[in-house]
Amino acid sequence: MKLVFLRNLIRDTKRLKIIIICALVLLESTVLIGAAFDPVPSASIGIIGGADGPTSVYISGVGSKKLQKLINDLLTRNADEPYRPDNEEPGREEVPGAEKPIEQEERDNTGADLPEATEQQRKEAAEKGLLILINKQNPVDKDYKPEDLVPIEKYYAADRSKAARYMRKEAAQQFYKLVEAAAEEGYELVMTTAYRSYDFQQILWNNYVANEGEAAASRFSARPGQSEHQSGLAVDVSSPSVDYSLTETFCKTEEGIWLAQNAHRFGFIIRFPEGKESITGYLYEPWHIRYVGEPVATEIYAKDLTLEEYLELYGLI
């Protein structure tokens, strides 16, 4: 449902509670019917109120947060007061085609209007080692270890290896900012693993090969020396909505969608995007983000590139 459509429909309507009651009854009926065919329905509704109509509405399910906020705002406002969303100033009407503030929730995420990194910005990122390419064709030595690794002291899954709670200093600082920005919008993201040494990766690889076979393992796991995690710039993130697991379904959660659309603002890219397996060498991993710095990350996001494609585009490999 388009929230803008709902907002415009009821902007000047005084009997909002009657409309909301009718709409919720219809929606609840749909959910109950769906539950008859699906024992685990994708949404649920709760209504609290009395004779004058509902005073609070609780809605669960993907995409429900913004809708619940809108409905509860409408329930608690004065009936004679025209509805005005949080980001609309008094006396200001929306004009079709008018420029929208970049901070607004319903912003366009096409990336078409995002800036390219300058040559100087790419040079600085390369000099800081942020554009290091580690893949099947470009392994690093067994002894390679960044000098500026720092421990991740918050926003991590407590049941995962402490040895993997390290990132390069700049990447760690930006990771904190990313998680905190997500939290401000109601999304919880945590780190499951970040830095891995060569020996750590060797253990993981051996286990995957033993269980899956070498051919299958090579599609989703890196051999030692070929893992981006050894750079200290990569981090795997997850959320409670998928029980802190690393699964492709993360991309369909509100947290996963937010991450895909906003990681570049903090210098991160989705390192192994969908549909680019032939380039990256690995299956789609919506949880795996890699720090390259904000200017480069923004350009990669805007142009829908992989790191390999970006480096080749500018002759950096």
Tokens at 166, concatenated: 């390290």
What interhelical angle do 169-184 and 254-262 show, nearest 10?
A: 130
Count Cβ atoms below 10 Å from residue 231 Cβ, excluding itself. 24
Nearest-10 Cα torsion for 151, 155, 156, 158: 110
Tokens at 87, concatenated: 């980001």
Among 170, 254, 255, 285, which one carries the catalytic annotation? 285
Could you report how far apart the first and last alpha carbons of the chain are, in Å? Answer: 45
Radius of gyration of the chain from Cα atoms? Answer: 23
Is residue 285 flagged as an active site residue?
yes
Tokens at 175, concatenated: 């990771």
Q: Which residues does the annotation mark as catalytic?
A: 285
